[in-house]
Amino acid sequence: MNWLKKFSFNIHSKSVQFFLIAIVLFWIKTYVTYRIEFNLGIDNSVQEFLLFINPLSSAFLFFGAALLFKKHWGAALIAIQFVLSFWLYANVVYYRFFDDFITWPTVLQLKVNGGQTESALSLMTPLDILYFTDTIILLSLLGFKVIQLKAASTRKLAIIPMAVAVGIFMFNLSLAEADRPELLTRSFDRNYLVKYLGAYNFTIYDGIQTARSSMQRTLASSDDVTEIENNLKANFSKPNSDYFGKAEGMNVMYISLESLQTFIIDYELDGQEVTPFLNSLAHDGNTFYFDNFFHQTGQGKTSDAEFMMDTSLFPLSQGSVFINKAQNTYHAAPAILKSKGYTSAALHGNYKTFWNRNEFYKALGYDHFFDATYYNMTAENVKNYGLKDKPFLEESMPLLESLPQPFYSKLLLLSNHFPFAMDEGDTDFPAGDFGDKVVNQYFQSANYMDQALEEFFENLKEAGLYDNTIIVMYGDHYGISENHNDAMEKVTGEEVTSFKNAELQRVPLFIHVPGVQGGVVHKYSGQVDVQPTILHLLGIDTRNYLNIGNDILSPEFKEIVPFRNGDFITPEVTQVNGVCYATDTGEPIEDEQCRADDQIAKEKLEISDRIVTKDLLRFYQPDGFVPIDPNDYQYTNGTKD
C-alpha cells in the first residue's frame, strides 16, 4: 500500500473538491433529468431511492477513470463529463418521441438512417443547453483559475473511486432485485432497467447483452429447434374452412399506413370526418376491419412492423432486426410464395439504405426493390422521410402494372410522420385545437393520407388490379407518444392513464379480399398474426412453419397480444408495467388469469427471441420451402446503385 503514501490529495485539497463538485453536479443533473424527462413509473419509496442514488455509481466509475491520466486528469474528467452529458441528452431527445432509450443497436441504425435531422431538431429547445450546465461550470472553475489542480501522483488512485462505484452499484442492484426479482434476466422493458440501475449502467448492460446475442448465434445448433417446433405446433390454430384458399392465386398488396392509430377511424373534427375513405372501408361489409388490432413494434418501429408482417416473428427487444440480423435465414412470405409462382416487390419513396432495407429485403426474398431512385424526388414532392403519399402512390402504379402476376407487393407510406407538419396546398383539412402543435397537425396529415389512398384505389380499379388483389392496409406503429398525453386527453375525452395508453396502441388493419364478404372483426390480435392469416387465405397451410402468430380468422385463434416490452392485452385482462387491469373497465385487479396470460406472453417473446438471435431457421426447412441465402442473393431488378 506504499502508493497510498504518495497520495498528494487530501479532503481539503482543491483537487478533491473539484472532483467532488463534478460528482455532485453530475448526480443532481442526472436525477433531475430522470424526473422531468422520463416517464419511469415510480411506484414506491424504494424505487424513488434507487432512482436518486443510481447516478452515483456511474459518476464515480467514469470520473475515477480520469485519474488514469495523471497530469491531465482534470481535462480528462471534463471530457468524460461532456461525453456522458451528451449521451444523456441524446437519450432525452430520443425519448421525447420514442418513449424509449438508446441502445447500442440503435446507434448502429443511425449510420444507415439518414434524413432524420428534421425530426430531431423539432424535439430540441433552447433550454436544452441546461443539460450541459455542469460542463460549463467545471470549465469555468478551471478556465478562470478558481481552482488549480494538482497532478494525480499515481494511476492507482483511480482504484479508490472505482471501488466506491462498485460498492454503490452492488448495493443498488441488491435493492433492485429485492423490489423486482430477476430484473436482469426477465425484464423486457428498458424503463425498468433505467429506473432501477440508471441510464449509464443500462448502457453498459446493453453492450454486454448485444455481445452476448452475437455469441448465441455462434453457439446455436439444430438441437435448439426441437423444443420450439413442438411448442409452436401444439399452439397452432388451424385454418377456417370458410376462408381457407378463397384468395388462391390472387395478388397480395400490403400498404403500410405510417403512424396511423385506430382512434382516428370514425373521428370527427369540427363535424368533418378525418379519414372518410378509410371509414367507408371499415363499414362497407366487403372488407375485414379489425378494430382490436395492436402494433407490437420495438425500437425498429416501421421496420419492425414490416418484419412481423412478412415473417410472423417478433422484432428484437433492443435495436432493429433489419440492422442487426440481416444475414439470418427467415421463412418470410415473399420467399414462401416463390414456390407458388409469385413475384415479389417492395416500393418505398426513400433511399434503399434507410433501415438497411436494401440488404434485409434480400433475406426476406424480395425479387424487386423500387426505392427513391425510381421516383420523382423533387422538393415539392418530398416531406419528412421521403416522397409524399399522393405522388408516391401515383408513380407506383406503372411499377405495379409492370410486375408479372401473381405478385406479392408492399408499399410504404411516409407523409403521416412525426412532426406531421403539412406543406401549403397539400390539404385544406383544418388542424386540431388541442393545445399541442404535433397533435393538431396529426389530423391534417392523416386526412392527406386518406385522400391519397382513395385516389390510389380508383387507380387500381382503372388498371384492373383491384378485382384480383388482396389489399392489406395496416398502421405500423403509434404516431402520438405519451409526451402528448395532455392533448390526447382532450382528443379522447378520457384521462390517459397507463392502461389507456396501452389501449391507444391499437392501429387499423384492413383486409379486402375480392369476392369475400368482410365485416368488423373484434378479435384482439397483433402484427405477428397477419402473415399466417394471409397465407391461409391464399390456400397455404402454415402448420409446418415456425410462426409465433396465428390465423386471426381461425375459430381456434387465441386472443392474447404480447407487446415487445413484456406487457400484454386480452379481451379480459391487460397487464401494464406489472399491474393487471380488467380490460372492460380499466380497474386494477388481482387475477389468476393475468398471471397465466403473462406466462404465455413472455413465452412467445422468448421463443421468438431464440429463433431470431440464434438464427435457428437456418437449421429448419419446411417441405417445399427453398431457403434464401442473403449473402448470395440478388434482386431480379428494382434497385439502382
Assess whether pLDDT exceeds 80 at residue 589. Answer: yes
Whether the CB-CB separation of 18 and 149 falls below 8 Å is answered with: yes
| Nearest in space to 25 (alpha carbons), one of 135, 169, 164 | 135
**Maximum mean pLDDT: which of 103-107, 313-317, 523-527:** 523-527
- pLDDT at position 639 is 54
Could you please report the per-residue DSSP string of 203-271? HHHHHHHHHHHHHHHHH--THHHHHHHHHHHHT--PPPTTTTTTTTT-EEEEEEETT--GGGTT-EETT
- Which pTM does this prediction carry? 0.79
pLDDT score at 7: 44
Cell of 57: 455509481
Q: Is 135 a catalytic residue?
A: no
Structure confidence by residue, pLDDT tens digits, 453-471: 999 999 999 999 999 999 9
Is the pLDDT reported for residue 527 higher than 70? Answer: yes
Average confidence (pLDDT) over 261-270: 96
Mean pLDDT value across residues 184-197: 76
Higher pLDDT, residue 348 or 384: 348
Span 600-612, average pLDDT: 96
- pLDDT > 90 fraction of the chain, expressed in percent and rounded: 75
pLDDT value of position 4:
45
Q: How far apart are CA 262 and CA 25, in angstroms?
A: 44
pLDDT tens figures, 295-307? 999 988 999 999 9
Distances (CA, A) of 388 to 97, 156, 313, 392, 533: 21, 60, 30, 6, 30
Is pLDDT of 366 > 90?
Answer: yes
Active-site residue, selected from the candidate residues 287, 297, 302, 533:
302
pLDDT at 107: 78
pLDDT at 117 over 60: no
Q: Sorting pLDDT into bands at 50, 70 and 90, what band is 185?
A: low
Q: How many CA atoms lie within 13 A of 529 on its CB side?
A: 30
Per-chain mean pLDDT for the chain? 91
Instruction: Record the cell numbers describing residue 589, joined without a space.
Output: 385487479
**pLDDT at 633 (0 to 100):** 87
pLDDT, mean of residues 410-438: 93
Report whether pLDDT(6) > 50: no
Lowest mean pLDDT among 356-365, 501-510, 597-606: 356-365
Nearest-angstrom CA–CA distance, 239 and 409:
23
pLDDT of residue 578: 86
pLDDT score of 637: 66
User: So what's the pLDDT on residue 289?
Assistant: 98
Condensed to tens digits (0 to 9), the pLDDT of residues 318-341 reads: 888 988 898 899 999 999 999 999
584 pLDDT more than 90: yes
Q: Give the model's pLDDT for residue 346.
A: 97
List strands edge to edge, sheet with 407-412.
368-370, 343-348, 407-412, 251-257, 469-475, 509-512, 287-290, 519-521
**112 has a pLDDT exceeding 80:** no
**pLDDT of 65:** 95
CB-side exposure of 18: number of CA atoms within 13 Å? 30
Q: Which of 41-55, 72-86, 209-223 has the lowest mean pLDDT?
A: 209-223
What count of Cα atoms within 13 Å lies in the side-chain half-sphere of residue 237? 20
**pLDDT at 619 exceeding the cut of 50:** yes
Q: Which residue is associated with the grid cell 408499399?
A: 411
pLDDT higher than threshold 60 for residue 550 = yes
Rounded distance between C-alpha atoms, residue 256 and residue 140, angstroms: 52
- 127 pLDDT more than 70: yes
Cell of 246: 378463397
Q: How confident is the model at residue 641 (pLDDT cuts 50, 70, 90)?
A: very low
Which band of pLDDT confidence, cut at 50, 70 and 90, is reported for residue 163?
A: very high
pLDDT reported for residue 216: 81
pLDDT of 635 > 90? The answer is no
pLDDT band of residue 638 (cuts 50, 70, 90) is: low
Task: Identify any residues that bridge with 268 across adjacent strands, giving them in sequence order.
Answer: 273
Confidence of residue 148 (pLDDT cuts 50, 70, 90): confident
Q: Flag whether pLDDT at 72 surpasses 80.
A: yes
Q: What value does the mean pLDDT take over residues 163-183?
A: 91
C-beta of residue 311 within 8 angstroms of C-beta of residue 545: no
Residue 334 pairs in a beta bridge with: none
Residue 245 clears pLDDT 50, i.e. is over it: yes
Q: Which pLDDT belongs to residue 119?
A: 63
Mean pLDDT of 585-610: 93
- Give 3-state DSSP helix, strand, coil % of the chain, rounded to 5: 50, 10, 40
